[in-house]
Structure formats: C-alpha cells, structure tokens
Amino acid sequence: MEISKRVLIVSNRLPIKISYQGNDMVFQNSEGGLATGLNSIYKQNNNLWIGWPGGIVEPQNEDKVKEHLQSQNLCPVFLTQTDIDDFYEGFSNETIWPLFHYFPTYSTFNPNQWDVYRDVNRKFADAILKVATKDDIIWIHDYQLMLVPELIRKEIPEVSIGFFQHIPFPSYEIFRSLPWRKELLCGLMGADVIGFHTYDDVRHFLSASSRILAVPSMGNELVLKIRRVTVDAFPISIDYKKYRMLADDPLTKRNERKLRQLINHNKLIISIDRLDYSKGIIPRLQAYQLFLERHPELRGKVTMIQLVVPSRDNVQKYKELKEEMNRMVSEINGRFSTFGWQPIHHFYRSFPIHLLSALYKAADVALVTPMRDGMNLVSKEYIASKIDQKGVLVLSEMAGAARELSDAMMVNPNDIWDFAEKIYQALNMPEDEQKRRMITMQQTVSKFDIFNWTKNFMEKLDEVKAQQQALFTRSLNATIQQKVGIAYYYSHKRLIFLDYDGTLVPFQKQVNAAVPDRELIDLLYKLSTDPNNKVVITSGRDYHTLESWLGKLPVDLIAEHGAWYKDHGKPWRSRRDLNNDWRSEIEHVMDIYARRTPGAFIEEKSYSLAWHYRRVAEGLGELRAQELMEDIKHFVADRGLQMLQGDKVIEIKSISINKGKAAKRWLERDDFDFVMAIGDDHTDEDTFKAMPGDALTIKVGNNISAANYFLDSYREVLDFLSELVNSGSIDRTPTEVGELKEAS
Ligand code: ADQ
C-alpha cells in the first residue's frame, strides 16, 4: 500500500522483544497479527514504529539498542521497573483491561498507578515529538496509550492522528465508574479518527463522550469546538493468504499426521488462547465436562487439545486463573480418563506456527468462546487454515468476530448447558452444512484481511483530514474577516440579518433566560445607529418577547420565522394568509408526550407550536422526540404544515412561513451593496438560500450548511460584529486604507 506521507506507528510493544542470554542482549521478532498487518507500512521508506522493546535496558546500553533498532525502522521507548509495574501491569492490565472487558470487580483504582500511567504516556509523547513533523501521520495503538493523542495534538495541532483500540469499549454504565474517565476521553479527543473493532464499541464510545464530556455527535462524528473526530468500526483481521499457505506446507502436513496418530484418530476439539479470564477458559472446561457427563457414548472418541499461551502471570488474578485452570484440567482428566484415552491434552506454552497450523487443520471443532474479546484472531486463523472446508467453529457471541462470522455456531459462554449441547451438535454436524458455513466465512475473512484493515484505516484518516481542511478554509478566519472589514468599510447601503438564539446569545436551558445583556444591547445599538446600516433580527421567537427585549433598538424585527414582522417605529404586522385550525390536534398530541417526559414543555406561538426537550435527560429527549415526530408526521403532511427539528426542539408551523421569505421583503426594498446573514440552526438555512449571490452568509457551528463561511460560537459572532462596527466607524487615514486595500 502506497502512502505518500511518513507514518509513525506507536504501540506499547515494538514487534520485537529484547531478552538476555547471560549478559548478552538478544533481539527476537514477535510475529503478532498487528506486526504482520503493519509490516507493509513500517518497513517502507523512512516510516517508523515507536514502542517499548520489552524488558529493562540499562541506561548505558540504551544507545546501543537504539542504534541496532534504527536499521529496522524501530524506535525504542525505555521503561523502568516502576513503569512496568504501575503503568503496564498496574493501570493498563489491572484497571483498564478488566473494566473494558466487563469484569468491573477485578478492576483496581489506584491513584499512584494512574500517575505513572500519565507519566509513561508523556514519555511516549515525548519520544514521538522528538521525531514527528506536522506532515506525518501518527497512528497510535491501544488502551495503554489513550492519553497520547491529546499530548501530541497540543504540540502539533495540524498533524494527522489516528487511534485504534484493540479491546472493547464498554457501555457508558461501566465506563463511568472509572475515576479518570474524563481524562482518558479527553486524551483520545486529540485523534482525528478513533477506531474500534465493532459498531457496538463505537456506540458505547459516542455515548460516553456525549454524557461525560458533553460533546455532541452527528452520526459517527464528534463535533468538537475546532475539529471533528470520526469514530468508526474497523474490524481487524489476519494475513489470510499466509495462513492458507502455512496449512499447505509440508511441515504442517507432517505435524498434522503425527497429531492425528497421537489422538488415535479421534474427533479433535481445540481451544487456543492467551491465559486471560476474558477468554472464558474456565466456563469452556465446565461445558466440556458437562458434555462428557451427558454423552458417555462419546467418551474415548473425542479429544480436546487446549493450548494456553502464558501471559501476565505476575498479576494476581492471572495466577489465580492459572491455578483454577490446572485444577479443572486435572479434575476432568482424573474423572474421565481411561487406559489409552485422555479427554484433555493441556499445554501451557507458546507453539511454533507450523504446529499451530496443524492443529487448526486437524480440528473438527474449534471452541473460541471468550467472555469478551475485542475481535479474536484465533477464530479467523482457524477458518483460513481449513483448506478442505470441513470443521465447525463454535464462537462466543461476546467476541467482536461474531459480528462478521455469523455462520459460526454461536454460544453464550455463560450458558454452559447450551454450550455443552452445542459441542455435541458441532461434532455431529453433517459435512455439507460444515462446508456451506465454512465457505461463507472464508469468503468474508479472505476479503476483509489485515491489509484491507490497514488500508481502510489509512484511507479514512486521509478523508477526515481532507474534510477538516475544507472546513478550515471555509472558517471565517482572521484574513477573511479583514477582507470583509474592507468591503464593509467601502459600502454605504448595508443590509444585515441576524438570528438571535445561538447566534447573538448562548443557548440556554430556560427559554426565557436568553435576555440580551448590556454588551449585546450596546453592540446592536452601535450597529443599527450607523446610518449606512439596516439591521434585521430574524428569530423564531414570539413577537412579544422580541418586542420586550429588542423593541427599543432601531432594528427591524422578524418573529416566529416570518409569521410576524415589524419595521422599527411601526406596529407589528402578521401574514394574512395563515390559519391555525390545525393547532388543537397537534397540541393534544404534544401534550401527551410532554406529560410522559419530565422536563419537556410546549411553547405556544401565534402561528406555530414548539415541543422543547432541552431540559430532558440525555437520550430520553431524543427518543421521545423521534416518537412524537413519527406520530404526527402524516397529519403534518396532510395539512400542509412543516415540522422543523431544531436544537432540542421540534416546531410545527405552516409550510409557507420561513425566514427566507420574510427576508426577501427587505431585500426587494433597495439596491444594497453589502448584504450579510448570520444564523445557527437550520431555520436560518432558508435565509442563507434567499440571499443574493454576493452576500456574506455565516453559519454558527460547522455543520453542513448553505452558508459561505462559519464561525464557531456566538462569542465569535459578537467579536466579529464589534470589529466590523469599529472598522466602519473609525476615520481611517489614507495610508491605513491603502494598507487594508493591499491586504485584500
Ligand atoms: P489477544 O487478546 O492477544 O489480542 P487474539 O486476537 O485472539 O487475542 O490473538 C491471539 C494470537 O495469539 C493469535 O494470533 C494466536 O494464534 C496466538 N496464540 C494463541 N495461543 C497461542 C499459542 N499457544 N502458541 C502460539 N500462538 C498462540 C488483542 C485483543 C483481541 C484482538 C487482538 C487484535 O484482545 O480481541 O483480536 O488484540 O486486535
């Protein structure tokens, strides 16, 4: 895959491991799935992989290690014993890992370990910052480094940052129990793209971000003040072709023959995992034991080979798991073994890949039944190795892989009774059904392989960056503001449309709390007393409120989206063609929903009704609003009405009322040489669309809009308007005007 920019991959572990033979340092390659997938990237050009090389390196040897790794495009981050204890084994593996795998009672919350986690994340960020430039792509991996994206973003704001999490993201209810939940989420917000394995993880993450950080989301994008963060599912996979070739290798075939002899040509069940409570090793043994109890006729005819690769066995919970696992294996073997047959062959070590491949090939049934797993690659390796397309995958619903491999035989690993039955069914599945299922799964895994995963992630990052760039160029930045200032200065007939809520005042939880303050009144006064200006406030509010808040200013007013309007100094007028005979029915339905939804209320305007849910609990308001809209949509269409969805409000009004139509009354009155409209919600889109081609239209917030430019908040609008007022009223010297012209 060709990527034009330099890529810096960052993960806790490098794809090599340092160990010692006596006093000599030995570098071993570690061939994990990630290393395979990223191989094609990090070895290219001057790309780099930054991470911990494993083990402890004495300070006097650090330079030697650096030099050695440099030739392989690897850059080491050295960890001390305290870092390993508190950052890696501590906070990463005793706090985040259990919590994110839905084992909250296994999680320890230790502030010292959190401090070290933060420090080590800083250490990684420093290592990146030493080599990174703004033109690089930085791809950070996994839960050990959740604070790194933000640390980099602060120093290099424009750089591309991707983050991929290899473990699940838990539901909000679990995640919220973490004392450092805010810090972790803020850390991740530094990324441009945040990837998870499944859509469920994406949902949980979006929900946690909106509830904990109050960051709004649109679809799968988080809308931050100055950037958008895309959150998406990128299911990781394996190098399919490699596993297929391995299965065909003579060494694998020899291993397979030996294996079959060893188990007396019995039916073979395999289970292969790292030692981890999330992998469901104990319930699997329980289910196998139950299967043997229930089916005495199959004893002696079935053999299970269980491989467990040692992992984290310094951590207490893992030690306990290992003891329990050994106890259960002995119990099952002790209870059911006969001379010449042993129900389980258990191995606690790593296996060479040709032996692993032989196991996959020989197995009639693979039990891949984690309690939780981000993805699970063993399931995919098993499928890729099945050249003869025979074999049954029994897969846990709780593995990310279950979303793609829907033709596997699914189990809930907690339901050991059903699980035992599924083992029996898997062993007895007719061959044609085995093949049918296997072929479909092979098509999926071969198409969506690890290279496809890398490509998808990189392309998404590229696309998001391009979008951000496009939005940035549309931002009403200082240079463009200066140009607008000049156009304003040289114009004499100006027409200015300003929306009110969200544009001139912040959005308030209480509808009537948005009273204009002194600063706003002064600003509008200055703007509207300039004899060259005609200022029109275009609001959805009722005219009584607008009159009492702004009626004394020399501005014209449009109320209720155009149902009412008024020139300064003249009485209010309303559209004559409007009727209200639809109100009582809609109000009745809105009232039912308001009574069912604490915090919701109806706002009555003369020609419209609004159902507000800004004070309703997050989530519930959206749900009820959807139900309400569903309920009234046919009535609304039949009566020629319009349903507007604003920010936490649904408003029903006649289809013929809109701010754009109202604005046209003013546009037609004169030949203006400077026309500007500013607004924040989609009722203002009608105003933008009604403006002449050379008008300046500004959206507050950077959502999709017909406006030419955007500003981020009402505060920026006020600052921008103050600048305009100043640039229009200051008597400039000829030199200053010249400078301004040049700048334009
Ligand atoms: P892991 O929890 O490590 O990965 P998994 O995806 O199953 O889990 O990968 C395990 C790897 O170890 C497989 O490639 C397997 O072949 C190998 N392996 C297991 N036992 C072995 C043995 N005895 N000898 C040799 N090799 C053995 C984390 C997440 C997963 C996610 C991956 C990738 O927990 O959910 O799928 O990252 O994102």
Distance CA 207, CA 583 (A): 36
Per-residue confidence band for 737, with pLDDT thresholds at 50, 70 and 90: very low
Q: Residue 560 in contact with residue 604, Cβ under 8 Å?
A: no
| Antiparallel, parallel or unpaired: β 533-538 and 494-498 | parallel
Distance CA 648, CA 510 (A): 12
pLDDT at 316: 86
Kindly give the number of the ligand 1 atom that is closest to the alpha carbon of 379.
7
For tokens 């081609």, name the residue: 693
What confidence tens digit (pLDDT) does each residue in 172-202 have?
Answer: 999 999 999 999 999 999 999 999 999 999 9
440 vs 577, which has greater pLDDT? 440
Distance CA 741, CA 734 (A): 11
Does the pLDDT value for residue 36 go beyond 70?
A: no
Q: From the CB of 701, is ligand 1 less than 6 Å away?
A: no
Greatest alpha-carbon span in the chain: 107
pLDDT at 39: 74
What confidence tens digit (pLDDT) does each residue in 95-137 have?
Answer: 999 999 999 999 999 999 999 999 999 999 999 999 999 999 9
Lowest model confidence (mean pLDDT) among 103-117, 329-343, 712-726: 712-726
Termini Cα distance of the chain: 43
Does the pLDDT value for residue 669 go beyond 80?
A: yes
Kindly give the number of the ligand 1 atom that is closest to the alpha carbon of 401.
36
Which listed residue (449, 499, 501, 542) is catalytic?
499
pLDDT at 37: 67
Please give the DSSP secondary-structure letter assigned to residue 509. Answer: S
User: Helices in 448-560 by DSSP H: which ranges?
Assistant: 450-474, 478-490, 518-529, 543-550
The alpha carbon of 417 is separated from its chain's Cα centroid by a whole number of angstroms, namely: 36
The CA-based dihedral angle spanning residues 504, 157, 175, 212, taken in that order and rounded to the nearest 10 degrees = -10
Distance CA 405, CA 381 (A): 12
Q: From the CB of 309, is ligand 1 less than 6 Å away?
A: yes
Q: From the CB of 280, is ligand 1 less than 6 Å away?
A: no
pLDDT at 18: 85
What confidence tens digit (pLDDT) does each residue in 515-561 have?
Answer: 999 999 999 999 999 999 999 999 999 999 999 999 999 999 999 99
* Contacts of 452 by beta carbon, 8 Å cutoff, 6+ apart: 237
Query: Using CA of residue 390, residue 391, residue 393, residue 394, what is the dihedral sign?
Result: positive
Task: Judge residue 342's burial from the number of C-beta atoms within 10 Å of its C-beta, 0-12 exposed, 13-18 middle, 19 or more buried.
Answer: middle
Mean pLDDT to the nearest integer, 382-391: 98
Query: 25 - beta bridge partners?
Result: 20
Task: Please tell me the distance between residue 444's alpha carbon and the centre of ligand 1 in angstroms.
Answer: 19
Distance CA 606, CA 592 (A): 21
Q: Residue 605 in contact with residue 574, Cβ under 8 Å?
A: no
137 vs 642, which has greater pLDDT? 137
Lowest model confidence (mean pLDDT) among 338-342, 400-404, 519-523, 709-713: 709-713
Per-residue confidence band for 313, with pLDDT thresholds at 50, 70 and 90: confident
Q: From the CB of 281, is ligand 1 less than 6 Å away?
A: no
pLDDT at 488: 94
Q: From the CB of 238, is ligand 1 less than 6 Å away?
A: no
Average pLDDT, the chain: 91
Per-residue confidence band for 738, with pLDDT thresholds at 50, 70 and 90: very low
pLDDT at 473: 67
Q: Residue 565 in contact with residue 573, Cβ under 8 Å?
A: yes
Q: Residue 658 in contact with residue 679, Cβ under 8 Å?
A: no
Closest CA to 301 of 257, 261, 262, 268: 268
* Contacts of 54 by beta carbon, 8 Å cutoff, 6+ apart: 13, 14, 16, 17, 18, 19
pLDDT at 580: 84
**Per-range mean pLDDT, top range of 66-70, 371-375, 482-486:** 371-375
What confidence tens digit (pLDDT) does each residue in 209-220 have?
Answer: 988 998 888 888
Closest CA to 141 of 195, 104, 88, 103: 195
Distance CA 234, CA 237 (A): 9
pLDDT at 607: 85
Q: From the CB of 13, is ligand 1 less than 6 Å away?
A: no
Order of strands, sheet of 365-368, starting from the edge strand that comes earlier in the sequence = 344-348, 302-309, 267-274, 365-368, 392-396, 409-411
What confidence tens digit (pLDDT) does each residue in 12-31 have?
Answer: 999 998 887 877 888 888 76
Distance CA 321, CA 252 (A): 31
Does the pLDDT value for residue 388 go beyond 90?
A: yes
Q: Which string of DSSP letters, residue by residue, matches 176-221?
A: TT-TTHHHHHHHHTT-SEEEESSHHHHHHHHHHHHHHS---EETTE
Q: Residue 609 in contact with residue 603, Cβ under 8 Å?
A: yes
Q: At what angle do helices 316-336 and 281-294 cross, to 10 degrees?
A: 10
Q: From the CB of 307, is ligand 1 less than 6 Å away?
A: yes
Distance CA 559, CA 545 (A): 9
Residue nearest to atom 22 of ligand 1 (CA): 350
Distance CA 489, CA 727 (A): 6
pLDDT at 638: 86
Mean pLDDT to the nearest integer, 434-441: 97
CA–CA distances in Å: residue 6 to residues 194, 311, 352, 566, 624: 19, 33, 34, 60, 48
Helix (H) or strand (E) holding 116: helix 111-131
Task: Please tell me the distance between residue 557's alpha carbon and the centre of ligand 1 in angstroms.
Answer: 66
Kindly give the number of the ligand 1 atom that is closest to the alpha carbon of 378.
7
The CA-based dihedral angle spanning residues 706, 711, 715, 720, taken in that order and rounded to the nearest 10 degrees = -100
Q: What percent of the chain has pLDDT over 70?
A: 96
Residue nearest to atom 33 of ligand 1 (CA): 166
Active site residue 671: no
Residue nearest to atom 3 of ligand 1 (CA): 274
Does the pLDDT value for residue 744 go beyond 70?
A: no
Distance CA 309, CA 321 (A): 13
Tell me the one-letter amino acid at 52: W
Q: What percent of the chain has pLDDT over 90?
A: 75
Please give the DSSP secondary-structure letter assigned to residue 617. Answer: P
Region of 649 (left: φ > 0; alpha: ψ -120 to 50; beta: rest) is beta
